[in-house]
Chain A
Amino acid sequence: MREETIERIRGIQAEVRRLRQASDNPAIERTMQLLDLYCHMARWELGDVEAMIPEAETR
C-alpha cells in the first residue's frame, strides 16, 4: 500500500512539474509549485526521502 501510494504521488508530482514548466499564468505556476511541495511533503511523510526541498530533487 505504502509503495503504491509513493509511486502514484511521484507520478502526480512529475505531471505537476510539467504543468508548472508549461504554464505562462502566474496563478497557475504558483499553484503547481505548491502542489509539487505537497507531493514532496507526502513522500517524506512516507519515508521517501530524496532531497530537502522539491527544487533540489533530481529533475
Chain B
Amino acid sequence: MQLYKPEVEAQRFWNPYTQTMPRAELDPLHLRKLQTVIAYAYARSPMYRKLLDRHKVRPEQIRTLDDFVKRLPFIDKKEILDAQAVNPPFGDALAISEDFFHQRFATSGSTGTPLHIPLTYHSAELWGESWVYGFWAAGLRARHSFYFAFNWGIFAAFWSAYMGVRRLGATVISGGGLDSKARLRQIEQYRPDVILATPTYALYLGETARELGMDLAKTSISHVFVAGEPGASIPATRRAIEELWGAKCYELYGIAELGPTNPGCPLQGGVHLCEEWYHALVVDESGHPVPYGEVGEHIVTSYIQDGQPLIKYRTHDLVRWTDVPCGCGTTWLYYPGGVLGRTDQMIIVKGVNVYPSALEALLHRVAGLSEHYELHVGRDALNDFVTVKVEARGEIDENRYASVGREAEAVFKSAVGVSIGVEVQKPGSLPRYELKAKRFFDHRPAAHRWQLSGGPGA
C-alpha cells in the first residue's frame, strides 16, 4: 500500500495546474486572489481599513494589476508593530477571531520589539504546502524521513518545514533539545534521508563530526535542505555542503512573518516564487517595479495570512527577478542566486554594487579560507568600503595568513572590480550560530543606507 498512486508519485510537480500555467493565465489568477485578499483585509483588519482609507483607495477600485501596483501603499514591519501596540499582542493588525488561532510565533526582537505572528490552521497548512513544492521537486516523497536539527522555539524558523513534512505525508524526526554531538549520534541511529538546517549550521556540524571522528558523507543523509540565510544558491557554499554531507543541497527562502515564499529550484541555481500562495514585486528605491533581470527590493503579498494579512509587504531583501523560462519546467518567476543581500546591506563601492552573497561565493575560491567570515562596512567621505574578516582553515600556517589575504583581495578586485580589504584570522576566532549567522556589520551613518521612498503607493 502506498500513500500516493504510482502514476501520481511519478509526477514532477506537486500542483501541475498552477506550476505550469502560462503567464497570460497566471496574472489574471493573481488579480483575483489579490482582490480577494484586499477585500478580506479591508473588511476585517482595522489596520488595513485605516491604511486604505488614508490613501483614499477602496478594494473595489483595484480592477487591474496596474491598479494594485500604483494605488496600494507598501507596508513595513514598523506599521504592523505600531498596529500591534494598540492592544497587544495583535491589536489592529488582527483580522480573525482568536478561536481560529493554531500557533503563535514571534520574531527575535533583536532590533527592537518582537513582531507577533498569528497562524491559523488554514495558514499553517499552507505554510507547509509552500515547502512541499520544493520537497516534491527534489524527489522527496512520503517514504522519506526528515531530521530537524533545530530547537522548537517561538521563532518561526523551521516550524513551517515541519508543517511541510506533515503535508507531504513524510516522517518527522526531531533533533530538538540536543547539542550537535547528540544530533549526529541520532542521525546515525535513526538514519533519516533529509536534514533541515541553516547553511551555517549544516557546515558547523562538519566541525562537530570531525571531533567525533565521524564522516558525514557516510551517513544516511541524501538531501540537505537549508533555509534562514543565503546558502544553496551560492554555488561555492552549496558545493561545500554537498561535499561535506555527500548529499544534494537545496534551499528555501522565506520570511518569518510571511512564511516560505520561495521554494528552491530543483536545478539549484536559485529559487522560484511560490505563485500559488504569494504575489511579488521587485522595486527600486523610488518604489517602481524594476524590469525583469534587474535587482531590487522584494515586495510580497501573501494569500495565506488570514490572521494578520500582509499586502505589499516590504521584505528588505534584495533579489533579481526573471521571467525567463526555467529548465525545471515551471512557469513561476525565478530568482537566480536567491537572496542577494538586504536593502540595509546594499553596498556601493566607487559606483559598483557589491552584494554580500557574491563576496561569500568568491571567498570559497581562495584555498586556505574557511566558510566562517564577517563583512564590515564603513564609509569615508565619498564611498562605502568593505573589510572581510575570515577564518583560515586549520591546516594553514599562521605565517601564511597575510599572503592568503592578499590572494583573496586579488580575487575580489578581479571579479568585482573594486578593492575589498581582507583580514585572515585564526580558526575558531569568529562566533558560531545555530540559526542565522550574523555576518554583516554596518558602521555607516544611516543616511548612506537604502531608503525606499516616493513612487507608487508611497
Contacts and interface: CB of A to CB of B under 8 A. Distances in A.
Nearest to B43: A56
A51 B29 contact: no
B15 A45 contact: yes
B17 A47 contact: yes
B440 interface: no
Contacts of A19: none
Interface size class of B (residues with CB under 8 A): 10 to 19
Interface stretch (B118-126, B156-164, B258-266, B312-320): B118-126
Contact of A49 (B36, B96, B121): B36
Given A45-B15, A45-B17, A45-B276, A51 B122 contact: no
B222 interface: no
B122 A37 contact: yes
A56 B45 CA distance: 14
B36 A53 contact: no
A8 B24 CA distance: 27
B33 interface: yes
B40 A46 contact: no
B7 to A, nearest CB: 14
A18 to B, nearest CB: 21
B322 interface: no
Interface string B101-132: 00000000000000000001110011000000
Interface string A20-59: 0000000000000010010011001111011111001000
A41 B122 CA distance: 8
B29 A47 contact: yes
B317 to A, nearest CB: 25
Given A37-B121, A37-B122, A41-B126, A52 B36 contact: yes
B114 to A, nearest CB: 26
Given A45-B17, A47-B18, 13 more contacts: A41-B126, A44-B276, A44-B303, A45-B276, A47-B17, A47-B29, A49-B33, A52-B36, A52-B37, A52-B40, A53-B122, A53-B306, A56-B40
Interface of A: 2, 34, 37, 40-41, 44-47, 49-53, 56
Interface of B: 15, 17-18, 29, 32-33, 36-37, 40, 96, 120-122, 125-126, 276, 303, 306
